[in-house]
Amino acid sequence: MRALAVLMMVQGHTIDTLLADSYRTNESIFFNAWFMVRGFTAPIFMFTSGVVFTYLLKNQKKPFSENPRVKKGLKRFLNLVLLGYFLRFPTFQIFDFSSVVSEQWRTFFVVDALHLIGFGLLFIIGLTYLTEKFKANDYTFYIAGALFFFLASIFTEKIKWINFFPLPVASYFYMGTNSLFPFFPWAGYVLCGALLGTYLSRNRAAISEKSLTLKLLTAGMILILSSELLDVIQYYFYSEVSFWTSPVSLITFRLGMVFILNSAMSFIASKVNSIPILIRQVGTHTLVIYAVHVIILYGSAWIPGIYGKFAKSFNTLHSAIAGIVMITLMIAMVVVIEKFKVVFIEQKKR
């Protein structure tokens, strides 16, 4: 799932960077299909991050204070957040900010997927600590946390947080500062992943059983039907788009699709004896893949990216080919990394 999520994100970013505006039309079957799939990419990526981290955290079967995964999680949180800011660093002069203009600072403090996932892992650690401290049901805490971020998003986007907090803080609360993934509602997907991660850690045999597939499929269908019901309420009982049903309906639909995709992966897992090594390797290097493809596409303070020269200048076919090429490059990079890792380990043994 993690390998699929990062490769979906790679093609989504690549095509979005290159596809010309004239081809972004509802009359295009390609664009409609791609646009719909792209709407699920971030929720899948965040949900899967929550699953993997929580599974490893709970798998230790140790008290919170003795769990080595807590320290690793805190380190992961810092690495993700710092890398997120590094990718948007505003100047090539690391210690001299005299030439940085206000627009560059606004871009630097935009909250991206890495920031959000980093804080999502921090929220999981915090809720895990509270469940142990109060001897509570961890499922209850994770569900409550997810619902908080989902439902609060109804109101947070209507508040101008920049009036209350400095830009670096306000950017985490709403999209008004051009943040792509503020806490509301996106952290909710990470916490939903914690639910599945907890379940899998306690029912390890379920990974290869049909019952998990059915449970995930049922949960997904219920969520999608619920989103449709919310749409019915919106269109039949309100004269205009309601301030609450639209975002909640979208969140519910996306979460339902995430569960259905996980049910498909669960079904595949129940049919295969082992995951191909290349897929495992891609899933292991998601952070490297994310960082490298972002630098290639958008550049950094030190390296120009594709966006500067070719932004929104390709037709549909060329954009699709570019997406395939980028995915191929990222997979090839992983293969090279793994080969160097093997050589390094062999030399170290000598």
- C-beta neighbour count of 177 within 10 angstroms: 20
Give me the amino acid identity at 245: T
Handedness of CA 285, 5, 67, 60 (dihedral sign): negative
How far apart (Å, rounded) are the C-alpha atoms in residues 193 and 52?
A: 8
Beta bridge partners of 204: none
* Residues sharing a CB contact under 8 Å with residue 176, sequence separation 6 or more, in sequence order: 157, 160, 161, 162, 170
How far apart (Å, rounded) are the C-alpha atoms in residues 14 and 306?
A: 9
**Domain parsing of the chain, residue ranges:** 2-202+272-349
Beta bridge partners of 19: 314
Tokens of 29: 């079957």
DSSP helix, strand, coil percent of the chain (3-state; round to 5)? 75, 0, 20
Rg of the Cα atoms in the chain: 21
CA atoms within 13 A on the CB side of 300: 17
Residue 247 has a pLDDT of: 78
Residue 347 has a pLDDT of: 75
Tokens of 16: 């979005």
Tokens of 133: 């401290």
How far apart (Å, rounded) are the C-alpha atoms in residues 265 and 259?
A: 10
How far apart (Å, rounded) are the C-alpha atoms in residues 190 and 145?
A: 10
Residue 245 has a pLDDT of: 46
Please name the residue ranges forming H helices in 66-137.
68-87, 102-108, 113-133
From first to last of the 350 residues of the chain, give the pLDDT tens digit: 889 999 999 999 999 999 999 999 888 888 888 888 888 899 999 999 999 999 999 998 888 989 999 999 999 999 999 999 999 998 888 777 888 888 889 999 999 999 999 999 999 999 999 999 999 999 999 999 999 999 999 899 889 999 999 999 999 999 999 999 999 999 999 999 999 999 999 988 777 778 899 999 999 999 999 988 887 777 776 655 554 445 788 899 999 999 999 999 888 888 887 888 999 999 999 999 999 999 999 998 888 899 988 989 999 999 999 999 999 999 999 999 999 888 777 777 66
